[in-house]
Each structure stands twice: as structure tokens, then as C-alpha cells.
Amino acid sequence: MKILVTGAKGFVGKNLIAELRNQNYTDIFEFSRETDQVLLEEYCKEADFVFHLAGVNRPKDQSEFMDGNYGFSSTLLETLKKHKNTCPVMISSSTQAELDNPYGISKKAGEDLFFDYSKETGAKVLVYRLPNVFGKWCRPNYNSAVATFCHNVAHVLPINVNDPSVVMNLVYIDDVVGEFINALKGKENNKGDFCEVPIVHTITLGEIVELIYSFKKSREERAVPNMSEPFTKKLYSTYLSYLPEDQFSYDLKMNVDQRGSFTEFIKTPDRGQVSVNISKPGITKGNHWHHTKNEKFLVVSGKGVIRFRKIDSVKVIEYFVSGEKLEVVDIPTGYTHNIENLGDTDMVTIMWANEYFNPEKPDTYFLEV
């Protein structure tokens, strides 16, 4: 299948083309402002499907709205007609097509052009009125508040929010691309004259800003946002894509003594925390038990033994562990336990606990195994 994508270098175009290639679509005609106009003839002659993503949304002069959003659309359709190519054509419009402003008027004119083209030629036309789209590769300080906020917060630049209570309707780029590829396969989400991206997130500007600042702070707190909330998950992925290239990494606080070290890695509000424990050769750590706190140990390097004793018993249970064979050992409540390094190199253990460490209520009681 030969696919023509106009606006190929734009935010949506780049994401769409990347995913088309992931799904083994190899014959992709990429058309952008820099493309030789002569190639449009060839592309329109051979295309089996057209994604029309090209448009203007931040012109120097308002007259450019009609030129970019209506004029080029007219050229595209006339070229398809010239070559008698009635392949399906999809156009990305905007919910602003319902508004009486220069941008909205130009988008509505473009829609009408496509509907008329369908009536005249019988070609299948798919019109998507998209709300605000967010995700990786969106240009900041241009026409996306989310992109601007993510970029500026990540780069420690100021942001301006005139009214935090403004409600935003947003769609995530991966959801948009997924729906477009469904349309390519003839499985579009059709709602009358228009098609829709199934997942729309409604949230205020103030809530968006609060989330983005919490992402920045999460590094300091070794926290991970609540990934079970779909919008938070998508916004966090978007925020990370705007990190400065020299700031992908961040330091952790290592608690070091003669026995080795203990470092908290990740904390989550509802799934506990993950830490990294390093024990020197011959060192034993632990010798304590918990009422409710429970843990999982995974030795990833070195070798050792994890010992258990129920607090009212003399019986000692031993589990020998090694980085040569990865296995998780659960630490049940009511058992005092320790871990000893039996090797001649550092032993590295990944430790998960079901709750944050709370110094005011540690639920940790010393008792030799």
C-alpha cells in the first residue's frame, strides 16, 4: 500500500510516519513545505490512501489561514482528480471549525471542500475534528500549552497561566495515531459526518500545571506518579520527552557505612518503594521483623543467604541466593530475618517494600535470627 502523508514534518505527521514504519508500511510518500511541488503529481497519481495533515495554525498574517488550510487542500484534491485517483482521503481538522474566527473559518472551509469532493468523485473522505493534541515532538512556545508547560518546567523557565480554571479537551498523540491507522485499515470511529479519537481527556489548565510541577519534584522525592490514571501516565511520558539532553540522569542519596550502602530508588503512592542494598563480603544486614510491612528481596549480583525465624520459634530457615539465578524471596510478616553476603565481592540486592519508610512508625523491631 502506498500512503501519502502531507504535513509529514509536523508534530502529528512525524508521529504517524514513525508508527506506520513500526507496522511495516514501507511505501510512504512524505510531503511537506520543503518538498518539490512536482512530486505532488507523482504522489497523487500512485497513492492508495492520503493522510492530509498539512495546515497553518500560527501564520504571520491571518490571510495565510485560508491559503494554508483551504488553498493547499484544494490543490491536493484537484491533483487527485486530475489523475482520477479516488483513494480514501483523511483530513485532520480542528474543533475550532465550529468557531467564528479566522482559523476556525479556514478549517471549516477545508472540511466543506472535502465533503464536496466526496460527493463529486465518490471517494471515501474521513474528517477528524481534533481538540488539543499533546505528546512527544510537539513544538513548545508555538500553539500547544502542554508542550510549552512541559518544556519550560523541564528547562526551569517561567510559565504563564492567565486563568487556571480554563477547561481543556485534549487527545494524546499515540491515541490519535492509533485511530488514524484504524482509519487506514477501514476501522475508523465514525460519528456521522465526522470521525473521532475515542479517548478525550478533560482537565483544567491549573491541574495540568500542577501535575507537570509534580513530575519535576518527583525526581527529588524519588517518586513515580500514579500511572494507573491514564492522563497522568500520558502527560508524564510527554514531560520526559522535553528534558534537557544533559539532564536525563539524577542523583540518589546513598546511605553508606562500613557494611555497604542502602539507597532508595523509587517510591509510589500505592505500590510501595524499591531500594538497592549493597553488602560487603561477610556482612550481615537485617535481624528485624515487621507486623504489617512486607518485602521482596532479589539478589542480582554476588551470593548470600537469607535467614528467617518465626519470633516465637527456634527453627531457622535458610534460602541461598545468587545473581547467577534470579529468584524473588518474599519476607513474611512475623519472621525475623537477615541477609548475609557469603561471597568475596559486593552483593547487590533489589528490595521492595509495600510502603514508604515512615520514621515515626517504622514497623521494624530488632531481633537476632
| CATH number (domain holding residue 20) | 3.40.50.720
Q: How far from 263 is each of 200, 253, 326, CA to CA, in Å?
A: 39, 6, 20
Asked if residue 26 is part of any domain, the answer here is: yes
Q: CA 209, CA 203: separation in Å to the nearest integer?
A: 11
Q: Identify whether residues 270 and 349 lie together within a single domain.
A: yes
Q: Identify whether residues 203 and 351 lie together within a single domain.
A: no
pLDDT at res. 64: 47
First to last CA, the chain: 68
Residues spanned by the domain of 274: 254-366
Q: CA 137, CA 140: separation in Å to the nearest integer?
A: 9
Asked if residue 141 is part of any domain, the answer here is: yes
Q: Identify whether residues 112 and 186 lie together within a single domain.
A: yes
Q: CA 369, CA 361: separation in Å to the nearest integer?
A: 22
Q: Identify whether residues 109 and 258 lie together within a single domain.
A: no
Q: Which of 219, 246, 265 is the last residue of a domain?
A: 219
Asked if residue 246 is part of any domain, the answer here is: no
Q: CA 346, CA 259: separation in Å to the nearest integer?
A: 10
Which pTM does this prediction carry? 0.90
Give the residues across from 75 on adjacent strands: none
Closest C-alpha among 358, 298, 367 to residue 335: 367
Neighbours of 165 (CB within 10 A): 9
- Cα angle value 124/65/53 (rounded, 5°): 35
Mean pLDDT by runs of 10 across the 369 residues of the chain is: 96 97 97 93 97 68 51 90 97 78 74 92 95 96 93 96 95 98 95 91 98 96 93 98 97 96 93 96 98 98 98 98 98 98 98 92 96
Neighbours of 288 (CB within 10 A): 17
Per the annotation, the verdict on 103 as an active-site residue is yes
pLDDT at res. 148: 97
Q: Identify whether residues 205 and 305 lie together within a single domain.
A: no
Sheet of 254-257, strand order: 254-257, 260-268, 272-279, 347-353, 295-301, 328-331
The number of domains in the chain is 2
Q: Identify whether residues 264 and 180 lie together within a single domain.
A: no
Q: Which listed residue (103, 236, 242, 335) is catalytic?
A: 103
Sheet of 194-195, strand order: 27-31, 2-6, 49-52, 89-94, 125-130, 194-195, 190-191
Q: Identify whether residues 147 and 265 lie together within a single domain.
A: no
343-349-354-360 Cα dihedral, nearest 10 degrees? 80
pLDDT at res. 55: 67
